[in-house]
Amino acid sequence: MENQLAKSTEERTFQYQDSLPSLPVPSLEESLKKYLESVKPFANEEEYKKTEAIVQKFQNGIGEKLQQKLLERAKEKRNWLEDWWLNVAYLDVRIPSQLHVNFGGPASHIEHYWPPKEGTQLERGSISLWHILNYWQLLRKEKLPVHKVGNTPLDMNQFRMLFATCKVPGITRDSLINYFRTESEGHCPSHIAVMCRGRVFVFDVMHEGCLMTPPEILRQLTYIQKKCRREPDGPGVAALTSEERTRWAKAREYLISLNPENLTMLEKIQSSLLVFCLDDGSPRVTPEDYSQVATKVLTGDPTVRWGDKSYNLISFSNGVFGCNCDHAPYDAMVIVSISYYVDQKIFESEGKWTGSDKVQDIPLPEELVFTVDEKVLNDINQAKAQYFKQASDLQLLVYAFTSFGKKLTKKKKLHPDTFVQLALQLAYYRLHGRPGCCYETAMTRYFFHGRTETVRSCTVEAVRWCQSMQGPSASLFEQQHRMLEAFAKHNKMMKDCSTGKGFDRHLLGLSLIAKEECLPVPELFTDPLFSRSGGGGNFVLSTSLIGYLRVQGVVVPMVHNGYGFFYHIRDDSKTKIPVGNLGGSAGFSSCLSTLLPLLPILIQYCRSKSSAALLWGEAVDCTLFHEGNIQRGNTPRALWSF
């Protein structure tokens, strides 16, 4: 990444946006064929024949008409999916989004110069903020390198949404407001919000045209913390953002009706570059176990997080950091990119500020004091109660698996990502005795405003391999052969999905066309096999690779009693697979203990060079973040989101 930053003067971050290809509409025949393949693991012969007939009827009937309508839409929009996806996946969702939609992750600074240490919260926070704000300036000046695969630029639009972006609740649909502007586009907000003990403060990070230094930021943070410690806690208005969306929208309307100044203060939070959260918690964390801090990042004090913000930087009292981000504006590679940038800067400087300690005469932070009444306070208490109740239903473990890293899997000619995906399938099969419908994210950033597509990892080939591993009857040769078939199928699916040939988003588009045309819901989408195979967001396993760096993250599973696996695979034998379970299933711990021993077992099945070459020959040429650089590589790039 450093080398890219040094060479970035010739290219501007967003200069290729107008030349990116439009998102294609896949072939109806091909999408339906792939869909039928995806439901096979979850159907008996009779059920499959029924679904096959439903699909054939759809293809020859209403499906053809909907496809034509979709093609017409694609002629008018460079990305026919963009608005639909934003609304259906995020803005129309009514469940509390802070817990169920947001993603987050603990910072990895503890693995080098910033181990947990009380009394370091503000000093480290000022340094971390300074690096983050430098990243913001790179974006404003368009000096952040364009992500590329070889010489092919990828879409960078999501990086515009990292700073000064906020979701605003609506009665039936939320809205997304982005205040960010590049220097060539005009004025951009330059203040941040700081939350501490139920109170909210703002201050400008620019002074006389220059970015504040860490000592100057430290002075502001110190003022806020001292003030909050010697005075009563605030009402915790931020907790309202953790509510069910319609209730939050109504509470917001009422809050504004009490005093017009409340709206002004809400807008200051909305337009802030980010929210810096001073959390009094002191979660335990080691390089081998991030479970407690990861849990706090997702389910910590709602009075010091603004759940609708695109970026909440959380600073714990022991100098440990994390982030909690609204998922609507962008996907994981954005936060992975900035998190890696900051981590590298902290590593290079040994966690210290080596510049001037001089502090200029800068205006003190402004406190945003909301006008509240008994009803607002009751709303806040209700929001906190439901938040903690739902948070208690989440179990989260983040352990380092140290038997191997990416180097060993590549040495064995195995795709690291596909390797883990098959291990997850086998673990679920052994625990539950049946296939688990599985979502893995593929990126579609080759296209204008591309975001994600679904890879359905539970294939017929994967199930056959799992079955061969269950009993003593299958020979080693058969188990190896089945695994090779499963690898090849997964790699082919990842390639198709990344290049606009997936089918899940296509089917979503067809269903939304029918809805817009006021047509009955096609039988394809009411067929039990549609939801049983994961359709409509019903995947029991929700998974994503977040890269090959120290950066890690977590998201709540899609469904109750489901699992979330959001993993990163490093070179140095420290693979982390955060496992989230929603619903308190008794099988949670056993699922993890079943999974981890399987990983080294898998490696032994690829001893043959010819067999291994088959795997690598089916490699997917996708984007890979490797040591901070975008490279051309033979490893599937799956981004952390859903």
Q: Name the DSSP class of 87.
A: I
Residue 579 parent element (H or E): strand 579-582
Closest CA to 290 of 395, 402, 400, 398: 398
SS3 per-residue string spanning 473-540: CCCHHHHHHHHHHHHHHHHHHHHHHHCCCCCHHHHHHHHHHHHHCCCCCCHHHCCHHHHHCCCCCCCC
Distance CA 347, CA 161 (A): 26
112 is catalytic: no
Q: In what order do the strands lie in the sheet with 541-545?
A: 394-397, 579-582, 562-567, 541-545, 438-443, 452-456
CA distance 104 to 311: 9
CA angle 528–93–43, rounded 5-degree value = 15
Closest by CA position to 506, among listed 15, 28, 12, 18: 28
* DSSP calls for 315-379: EETTS-EEEEE-SSS--HHHHHHHHHHHHHHHHHTTT---S-------PPPEE------HHHHHH
29's CB contacts (< 8 A; 6+ apart) are 59
Interacting residues of 17 by C-beta distance below 8 A, sequence separation 6+: 155, 156, 157, 448
Q: Among 380, 386, 345, 397, which residue's Cα sits nearest to residue 138?
A: 345
Which residues sit opposite 203 in a β-bridge? 192
Residue 10 identity (one-letter amino acid):
E
For 642, the token pair is: 């859903």
Work out whether the CA dihedral 354, 139, 129, 104 comes out positive or negative. negative
Q: Is residue 522 within 8 Å of 615, Cβ to Cβ? A: no
Helices and strands (DSSP H and E) totals, the chain: 21, 24
Report d(CA 124, CA 276) in Å as an integer. Answer: 12
Query: DSSP characters for 383-426?
Result: HHHHHHHHHTTEEEE-BEE-S--HHHHHHTT--HHHHHHHHHHH
Distances from the Cα of 613 to the Cα of 334, 607, 624, angstroms: 33, 11, 21
Which of the 8 DSSP states describes residue 146? P
Which residue in 109, 191, 327, 490 is the catalytic one? 327
DSSP, collapsed to helix, strand or coil, labels residue 578 as: coil
What secondary structure does DSSP assign to 35-48, as a single string?
A: HHHHHGGG--HHHH
What residues are labeled active site? 327
